[in-house]
Amino acid sequence: MRRITMSRGYRTIKLNQKQHTAWITLDRPDKLNAINEIMLEELSDAIDSLEKGANVRCVVIVGAGEWAFSAGADFTELRKLTPEIAKEFSVKGQQVFSKLKDMSKPVVAAIGGYALGGGLELALACDFRVAADNAELGCPEIKMGFIPAWGGTQRLPLIVGVAEAKRLILLGERVQADEACKMGLVDKVVPLKELEAEAEALAQRLCELQPAALKYAKLVVDSVTKVSSDGLRKETESFVQLISAKETKEKIDAFWSQRNKK
């Protein structure tokens, strides 16, 4: 059965549906699906519409192209953040990802290629993570002098434990798919060409279960691992302080210009 496009005039994501599963495709493949302000807005709108969609029982999020689920927050926007905008930037991302996490329907991240920074934070807000064998996951922010600010500092330790979260967040280490699976960061690894079929099979299993039972199962399990509003507030405050520092701006600029010289 074909996927039916649900056109809502989005520019950075695509939304389509196959049977009871809605697929959100992060659709900036030429920018490795980097998450800009428009994409955050469109994700927020899509989540609202899928939450209301009576015919939708499960959501899958995937990146367009083979190379990335998402390479994180859009650098062109990061470089311009003032302290005021940095606060909004962090709070907005936290809100959208918390809304995703709090959906009454299960959400699967299908991770092919890079899931870095905000891209990993998006995947962390999903209920299941299936990865392709080319997946590479991590939080590179520390190398540029800042920290994840879209809930990642709170969700990562809940998923992989404090020690592994510190390895990724404090050291900025990246992990490949197999290692990510061993540490519980992803649930399963499959060859890249099987990624969508694997996510679809998982979504199908979820769709066959009773929606109300799934909704309450998710609600009660998530109550054990709810991120605290205090933790999110501290994440935002720390991010704003760090991103406003001259040194951080220099590191981000150095990273960006070095990348453009390749």
User: Judging by beta carbons within 10 Å of its beta carbon (0-12, 13-18, 19+), is residue 55 exposed, middle or buried?
Assistant: exposed
**Interface with ligand COA, residue 138, by CB under 6 A:** no
Decide whether 127 or 235 has the Cβ nearer to ligand COA. Answer: 235
Strand order in the sheet with 107-111: 4-5, 13-18, 21-26, 58-63, 107-111, 128-132, 188-190
**Interface with ligand COA, residue 252, by CB under 6 A:** no
Reduced to 3 states, what is the DSSP secondary structure of residue 225? coil
Residues 54-83 contacting ligand COA, CB under 6 A: 71-76
**Interface with ligand COA, residue 106, by CB under 6 A:** no
**Interface with ligand COA, residue 34, by CB under 6 A:** yes
DSSP 184: T
Which member of 42, 121, 136, 164 is catalytic? 121
Token reading at 108:
């699967």
What DSSP element (H or E) covers 21?
strand 21-26
In this chain, which of 93, 117, 151, 152 binds ligand COA, going by CB under 6 A?
117
- DSSP H helices, 108-245, are 118-124, 152-160, 162-171, 177-182, 195-207, 211-224, 229-243
Please identify, among the stretches 16-24, 26-34, 50-58, 103-111, the one whose residues bind ligand COA according to the rule CB under 6 A: 26-34
Please identify, among the stretches 95-103, 112-120, 157-165, 175-183, the one whose residues bind ligand COA according to the rule CB under 6 A: 112-120
Whether residue 186 contacts residue 180, with contact meaning beta carbons closer than 8 Å, is answered with: yes
Pairwise CA distance, residues 182 & 189, whole Å? 10
CA distances from 247 to 89, 130, 256 (A): 20, 37, 14
How many residues lie near ligand COA (CB under 6 A)?
A: 16
Known catalytic residue at 141: yes
Which member of 141, 164, 200, 235 is catalytic? 141
Known catalytic residue at 121: yes
Decide whether 89 or 128 has the Cβ nearer to ligand COA. Answer: 89
**Interface with ligand COA, residue 141, by CB under 6 A:** yes
Using CB positions, name the residue nearest to ligand COA.
117
Please identify, among the stretches 88-96, 115-123, 180-188, 198-206, the one whose residues bind ligand COA according to the rule CB under 6 A: 115-123
- Strand partners of residue 130: 110, 188
Catalytic residues: 121, 141
Interaction site with ligand COA (CB under 6 A): 31-32, 34, 71-76, 114, 116-118, 140-141, 259
